[in-house]
């Protein structure tokens, strides 16, 4: 007999032990951000559709093809968030007061939704961890975001990544560049795919993201953003590169990078790894000083980035970095008979009161099955209690990695084991 309901296409169930691994990854990211002075923000999954129309750009692929949009029971158009930044900014502007202290450094973690073709590592419900700094107009705010993203990757055990940066200009010089590339791609219109011909009049920057071979070949000869930025933008970019040099952050300049959302200005960046011979972006972001005003808010400089969690998790598994993050159970208390079960409950309660992660058998397994279970669940130590241990007053604890057995007095096992761990 089969179960009546299946998971929706493009969605995912994350069960133990994978769910526990996700939590460890999330914990590393949150801890790093907290160390850098970031505070956690939680926002609704559902927003008015216009928020994303105006922020992402009504010509973007996200708005035109990918958003989960529907009318609620009051007939209002609402959308499941396709990304966090617009919603975070909306929340910040709504709550701005005379007591707001800048810069405001925020972090978030949660699901987003885009209706696109499911692929390996890409789902219709996907998770992001992100960082935003509001009120920081200095290049140092951009540096802070990159330093923290760099630190997170190192803490997760990922070291073989490249940082790519580009200057795409302020709203004034960007318009000059847009006119230039419209002219360039217009001269090559006959060789562009149908989608890119449509982008030519709405958002020609998206042509750089096209996977069509002909479009990619044409893009290789397109003008570079960095050649059209104004003197002020050039000075800012040169200063930012000096900050990266001082911080010992290596980088490459990628003049083709524009990022996938319309609100970016000035600096954009991506952290990229070589994965199976192909570049894989695991974190991307940039500055978006004009977004607040475009949504009817105050002039509010802002910069940020986001990590794609599914892509990051897959990378950690494929590169076998998982064990650097895994922090499973400390001690499993195996019991042999009914009398030892009572002792096991007493010991585990005392261990837990001391902050030591511990567990015992819940399904009446035999000793061998308990040992296999403890090993599978990643317990570092296994303490065995039976009549022999009760009679002798001594309990043996097996180190599961070395098979060494350490003896402790049964009468004050929890306290002695706590001292052992601290030494």
pLDDT the model gives residue 1: 59
Please enumerate, as own/partner, the contacts of 242-249 that have beta carbons within 8 Å and a separation of 24 or more: 243/139, 243/140, 243/143, 244/143, 244/146, 244/163, 244/165, 247/143, 247/147, 249/146, 249/147, 249/150, 249/163
What digits encode the pLDDT tens for the residues 173-187?
A: 878 888 888 888 889
pLDDT the model gives residue 262: 67
What digits encode the pLDDT tens for the residues 1-21?
A: 577 888 899 899 999 888 988
Domains of the chain: 18-170+229-323 (3.30.930.10), 328-422 (3.40.50.800)
> pLDDT exceeding 70 applies to what percent of the chain?
94
Name residue 105's beta-bridge partners: 133
**377 — pLDDT class (breaks 50, 70, 90):** confident
What digits encode the pLDDT tens for the residues 16-64?
A: 888 988 999 999 999 999 999 999 999 999 999 999 888 765 555 566 6
pLDDT the model gives residue 325: 56
∠ CA 222-223-229, nearest 5°, is: 150
């Amino acid at each position: 007999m089969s179960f009546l309901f299946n998971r929706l296409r493009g969605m995912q169930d994350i069960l133990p032990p994978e769910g526990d691994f996700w939590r460890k990854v999330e914990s590393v990211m949150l801890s790093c951000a907290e160390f850098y002075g970031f505070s956690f923000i939680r926002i609704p999954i559902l927003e008015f559709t216009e928020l994303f129309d105006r922020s992402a750009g009504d010509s973007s692929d996200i708005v035109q093809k990918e958003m989960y949009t529907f009318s609620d029971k009051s007939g209002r158009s609402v959308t499941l968030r396709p990304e966090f930044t617009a919603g975070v900014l909306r929340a910040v502007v709504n709550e701005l007061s005379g007591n707001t202290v800048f810069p405001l450094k925020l972090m978030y973690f949660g699901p987003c939704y885009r209706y696109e073709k499911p692929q390996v590592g890409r789902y219709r419900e996907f998770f992001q961890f992100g960082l935003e700094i509001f009120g920081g107009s200095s290049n140092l705010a951009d540096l802070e975001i990159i330093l923290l993203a760099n630190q997170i990757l190192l803490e997760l055990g990922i070291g073989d990544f490249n940082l790519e940066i580009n200057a795409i200009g302020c709203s004034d010089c960007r318009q000059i560049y847009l006119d230039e590339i419209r002219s360039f791609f217009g001269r090559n219109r006959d060789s562009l795919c149908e989608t890119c011909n449509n982008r030519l009049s709405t958002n020609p920057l998206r042509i750089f993201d096209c996977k069509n071979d002909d479009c990619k070949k044409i893009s290789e000869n397109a003008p570079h953003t960095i050649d059209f930025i104004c003197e002020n933008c050039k000075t800012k970019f040169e200063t930012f590169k000096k900050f990266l040099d001082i911080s010992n952050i290596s980088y490459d300049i990628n003049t083709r990078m524009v990022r996938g959302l319309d609100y970016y200005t000035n600096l954009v960046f991506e952290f990229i790894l070589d994965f199976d011979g192909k570049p894989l972006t695991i974190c991307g972001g940039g500055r978006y000083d004009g977004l607040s005003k475009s949504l009817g808010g105050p002039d509010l400089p802002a910069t940020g980035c986001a990590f794609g969690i599914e892509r990051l998790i897959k990378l950690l598994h494929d590169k076998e970095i998982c064990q650097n993050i895994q922090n499973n159970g400390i001690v499993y208390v195996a019991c042999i008979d009914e009398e030892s079960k009572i002792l096991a409950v007493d010991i585990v309660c005392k261990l837990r009161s001391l902050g030591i992660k511990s567990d015992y058998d819940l399904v009446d397994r035999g000793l061998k099955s308990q040992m296999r279970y403890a090993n599978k669940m990643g317990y570092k130590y296994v303490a065995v209690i039976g009549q022999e241990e009760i009679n002798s007053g001594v309990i043996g604890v097996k180190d599961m990695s070395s098979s060494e057995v350490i003896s402790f007095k049964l009468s004050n096992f929890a306290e002695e084991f706590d001292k052992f761990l601290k030494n």
